[in-house]
Structure 1
């Protein structure tokens, strides 16, 4: 698992060949990667929202209560897992149009490894900031897209020329799945979990 992670950022072409071979020899070997790396955003967000907090107005610091933060992070973790499985199912379904015959497990594994940059980007949750999150997630999206286009031909063992169209279709569906799952998470968070905020106001006096 560690070797695959390093190669995804140093030799992505070789990494995809190794990942496909491991998936054939040991189905569901991606599970450890998915279950462990998906913890990074959840744990980081818990620390950031309970210990660091964020500011909505000058002199005011907002944090989540421990209970609310735990609910949010558990919801985020489950959302990541569901989103990965759903995306893998879509990739499996689309494979029929591109003469590829991957199993569902292989497609979920492909999705999990492609999403690795997003897992690492979850470290931004340690310091809740809108602009930091946008910048980091943007970079993660770019590299995840690169991994998708570089890896899909090798992993799915497609003929030359089929990979780009397959990757483009997967990218479009992936964007839809990402937006849909995040919106659902936010709706559940606000409508059913009743988040509890802790506000701290810093009293500032002139001349002190």
Structure 2
């Protein structure tokens, strides 16, 4: 797993070729990569929101209660796992349109490894300061998009021209998934499952 993380950060094209050659199963991909790395943002978020807190406009520091923060962390973790699997499944479904015959595990691996920078950047939630998170988060998001556009032609085994269109479609699916998650969050908060502030 660690070699793939290193490869995704420093030599992505060669790493995508290595990943394509592996005989990855859904379980192996999830257990060796997603289950561990997807835990970074929720754990860091839990610590940051309960121990450090954040300031919005005033000098007052806002913190969550440990009970509220743990439920939000667990829901966030489960959401990441479901989102990776869903996007992988949609990549597999869309692959037929672009002439790709990759297996479902390979498509889920594409979704899982593409999100590597996002998992790692979750460490910044230890210090939940909006300007700092944006300053770090935007370049990380850009690099994630780069990984997607680099990985799709290699993993899916299609020409780069078609890979560009396929990657754009996957990016659109990712944005729709994000909007769905945000909408579900608003609904859950509205029915009483929102954050509870300490003191």
Into which bin does the TM-score normalised by the smaller protein fall? over 0.9
CA pair 33-46 structure 1, distance change in 2 beyond 3 A: same
Q: TM-score, normalised by structure 1?
A: 0.89
Alpha-carbon distance between aligned partners in 2 of 1:91 and 1:100, rounded to the nearest angstrom: 10
| Equivalent residue, structure 2, for 1:158 | 158
Contact 2:24 2:105 in 1 (8 A): no
For 1:27, the equivalent position in structure 2 comes to 25
Measured against aligned partners, the alpha-carbon deviations of 1:48-68 in whole angstroms (never above 9, x if no partner) come to: 000000123534221111100
The structure with more strand, counted as a fraction of residues:
1
Which structure 2 segments of 5+ residues have no match? none
Residue 105 of structure 2 corresponds to 105
**Alpha carbons 2:9, 2:117 under 8 Å: kept:** no
Determine the C-alpha separation between the residues in 2 that align with 1:144 and 1:71. Answer: 27
2 CA distance for matches of 1:121 and 1:189? Answer: 25
Contact 1:75-1:185 within 8 A present in 2 as well: no
Q: Contact 1:72 / 1:189 at 8 angstroms: preserved in 2?
A: no
In 1: Cα distance, 2:130 partner to 2:102 partner: 38
Q: Distance in 2 between matches of 1:160 and 1:60?
A: 51
Q: Which residue of 2 aligns with 1:204?
A: none
**TM-score using structure 2 length:** 0.92
Hey, what's the Cα distance between the residues in 2 that align with 1:195 and 1:161? 45
Report what 1:41 is aligned to.
41
The residue aligned with 2:192 is 192
Alignment of 1:130-145 (within 5 A): 130-145=130-145
Runs of 4+ in 1 over 6 A off after TM superposition: none
Residue pair 1:76, 1:185 contacting (<8 A) in 2 also: no
1:187–1:138 Cα change, 3 Å: farther
Where do residues 68-83 of structure 1 align in structure 2 (5 Å cutoff)?
A: 68-83=68-83
1:190 positional shift: 4.7
Larger radius of gyration: 1
Is the 8 Å Cα contact of residues 98 and 158 (structure 2) preserved in structure 1? yes
Which position in structure 2 is the counterpart of 1:118?
118
Match of 2:9 in 1: 9
Q: Quote how far apart the aligned CAs of 1:88 are.
A: 0.9
Which structure 1 residue ranges, 5 or more long, are not aligned? 200-208
